Each structure stands twice: as C-alpha cells, then as structure tokens.
Structure 1
C-alpha cells in the first residue's frame, strides 16, 4: 500500500524533550523542534475508540507520516496548537520503511 502526497495534508511539528546544564551545573529541560512534516491527522471515531480497548491510554487520534528513522515514542507532536503524546510507532506492513502510523493521545507535556 502506498501513501499519496494528497493524503498528507496537515503540517505537524515533531519535538523531543532535552535536558541541558548551564555553567553552574543546573539542569534545564525543554522541548526542542526536530522537524516539521506533512501528515494525515485523523481523530478516532467512537467505534474505533471502543474497539481498541484503550480506555486507559485514551488514544484519541491517528497520525500518519512518511518514514523517519529518528522518530521515537518519547517525542511529541504538535498540530494546530494541540499537543499529542505518542503512544506507539507502527511501521507500514509491507517494507516498514514507507510510512509510520502513530496512535496518539491528546495531552499536555510540561515545558510547552
């Protein structure tokens, strides 16, 4: 299955949490931008939400992007001012190198 460019019509920002130390050795944490990419952002329907059985994780949407080797589950995604926490990374079934489907939950991470 191939994913067409027209299906990736939303711009999303991928961020990672980093910790740095200042000259005094004090640790500071912040979210830094990794990349802005084209994506498909699809809210889950009530039926998909119930079928997933993910009531604890509260998976609220599915984001699909082209494959990125540097993507990690500890990162977060921003779309239209909404913060999405990554719940997992699901590579495509054929090669695993064309696209990644990312189940996400709407939330807030410190250091916005």
Structure 2
C-alpha cells in the first residue's frame, strides 16, 4: 500500500491535535475521522487519536470535578502522568504515521475496537 504525503500529514495532525489548544485536540481528529472514512490509513490513525484524546479529556474532567470536593487533589499526579503518557505516545504515533506505519495506543484498544 502506497501512503501519500497528504495521508501522512492528516494522520500526524490527528495525533498532535492537542497542539491546537482548546478543544482542537478533539475537533481535529473528529473531523479527520469523519472526512476520511474511505481511507483506512488515515481513518485508523484518526480513530486511535480521537479515542485517546477523549479518554484523557474524560479523566481530566472527572478529576477536576473531584478536585472541587478536595478528593481529586490526590489524583492530580495521576493526571499529570496520563498527560505525559499521551504526549509520549502521540509523538510516537505521529512518527509512525509520518513513516506510513500504523500505531495502536496502549491500554485503550478495547474502546478503539468498539468504534
């Protein structure tokens, strides 16, 4: 399978969308996911990134709510580690995408496979 430069760029953008700030880290991979359903390479990368970003968003929101109750303060180091893990794995995924290879984020494959 010959992967084009455009396919690689879209896949990399999906993984590194958190660099856009705000909700760009959800919107960019979602738009790529929806627009490229007919492209297995880009679709799979966008799906991986979207699920990973949604999981970190959900965990961050839940921790934020728990912080309001002071319970979540104990979870802040865990959130920091999860964001660091997302940073590392998304960079690895982006490099793989740029090389025309697939990538599967660790831990979340059960959720990814349901989509």
> What range is the shorter-chain TM-score in?
under 0.3
TM-score by length of 1: 0.22
TM-score by length of 2: 0.21
Instruction: Compare the two structures and name the one with the higher strand fraction.
Output: 1
Higher normalized contact order (CA 8 Å, seq sep 6+, divided by chain length): 2
Instruction: Compare the two structures and name the one with the higher helix fraction.
Output: 2
